[in-house]
Structure 1
Amino acid sequence: MNRVETAALLAAIGSVDSRVRRQLGDPQAAHALIDTWHEALADIPATTPGGWDIGRAARSYYEQAGDNSARYWAIDPHHVMARWADYRHAAIADHTDPVPPVDPDHEAAWRRALAARRAAVMTGQAPPARARELGAGGPAPALADTLSGVGRRIPPEAAALLAAAGVGRRRHERPEIAAVPCRYDRCRARRGQPCRAPSGRLLRDVHATRKDDYAATLTAPAPQHTGATP
């Protein structure tokens, strides 16, 4: 801030704190007070594009819930400096580095551009660059068909056949699989009985061999009946 901005800040503080107002009422004391505050806050801007306002920062000293400091001591420059440090920390934490407008193959220039943008954020010359969030409207129509197949390794036709065969469902979701016995050596469940673990515990699913045998019954060709034609 320059001296004019510093004097305006102290005048605003004096409007809510009679101790500062009395100092400003004495020309010699006012001159010394402005010098002290300007020297301490010269590198802190009055406002920034990111939302910093030094007037609000000073006023917050008098609005602290549960803190009675303002009743006993007038605000000092270090109180404002502490709030500026908090703002800088929050701003850089909220900042996402945008892609620098330089050739990424020039590593030194790339690093300088990143450092310059971060410095601008921390000094209040530029607001934090926030990463854009995905909107709630979903993907663009041109990408909808492409995205619908991402992550699907099984074609829809094959998935429908597998679903009809009960593949991918557990035993309790497809009781029809019990129509075939289990030929796993350590189970040997009969038709209509659930599969068991070697310990005798009932399984929620069935053994792989039973699944294969059940699937084979669905794909086996229908028996051909031959006979004399009347």
Structure 2
Amino acid sequence: MDRREVAAVLAYIGRLDPRTIRTETSEARDQIAQWHELLADVPLATEHGWDARAAIRAHILDSPYPILPVDVARKWRSHRRDRLGRHTDPTPATDPDNVSAWRAELASRRHAVAIGTAAPSTHQQITSGRVQPDLETRLRAIGSCIPPAVRTELAPYRPARAAREAAIAQGHPDYLSVRCSWCQAQAGELCRSRRVGPDGGARGNAPRATPHPSRIDLATTKAQQPAMAA
């Protein structure tokens, strides 16, 4: 605020709380100087949610004590922290190889949000990029975000998943869609090898590349039930 804005604020406060009015010229001048010293970097109002008069009115309604310039400054700092806390730094339009320009754009945008001339961007960066126009068409064509060639190359490193996908492709039911009654693996989880020790307790808990036969039978029976009912 400049001195004129500070004087207008003090006049507004005087109408709401006559205790703050200074009748002497020297006292009024000192009061304006004191308020200006603390509110020089506080805007009178911004386009995005801040109005010093609203903060002053709220203080007068909530507190029995006369308002001080530091009360307004603290409310502005809290408002600014809240805005910056909700800002998620969308990806700058500058070339990322130009580090100085990239940082300058980020800093200028944060400064605009802090002083209230720009609204905070509450969207995460992952949603701020441009979507390729042919992305949905390509996904519908290949049926998955993993291309078939890449899936084939990954098969040796994911034998259980590869066996499951091959079985489904051949028309077999998804064996992992049901719970295994032998190893107690939940639906969607791989079966576990369970070996019985001499004391009768279970030994071993390694994942199996293939499901247990009882799980296969259960999944097959469940898949056949709709056909039998029809």
TM-score tier by shorter-chain length is 0.5 to 0.7
Q: 1:86-110: per-residue Cα shift (whole Å, max 9, x none)?
A: 1121111111112223211111111
CA distance in 1, matches of 2:50, 2:61: 17
TM-score by length of 1: 0.60
Letter paired with 2:96: P
Q: Show the counterpart of 1:16.
A: 16
Q: 1:13-35: per-residue Cα shift (whole Å, max 9, x none)?
A: 112212113x2x44443232222
Does residue 158 (structure 1) correspond to residue 169 (structure 2)? The answer is yes
Does residue 6 (structure 1) correspond to residue 21 (structure 2)? The answer is no
CA distance in 2, matches of 1:96, 1:34: 38
Gapped regions of structure 2 (runs ≥ 5):
128-132, 147-160, 183-192, 218-230
Residues 171 and 100 of structure 1: is their aligned pair in 2 closer, same or farther, counting only changes over 3 Å?
closer
The two structures, once aligned, show a CA RMSD in angstroms of 4.1
Q: Show the counterpart of 1:36.
A: 34
CA distance in 2, matches of 1:40, 1:102: 37
8 Å contact kept, 2:181–2:215:
no
TM-score by length of 2: 0.60
- Identify the structure with the greater helix proportion: 2
CA distance in 2, matches of 1:94, 1:185: 51
Count of aligned pairs: 179
CA distance in 2, matches of 1:9, 1:185: 78
8 Å contact kept, 1:49–1:125:
yes
CA distance in 2, matches of 1:31, 1:199: 94
Identity within the alignment, %: 33
8 Å contact kept, 2:45–2:51:
yes
8 Å contact kept, 1:167–1:211:
no
8 Å contact kept, 1:96–1:131:
yes
8 Å contact kept, 1:49–1:124:
yes
CA distance in 2, matches of 1:127, 1:46: 17
Deviation of 1:172 (Å)? 4.6
Q: Show the counterpart of 1:220.
A: none
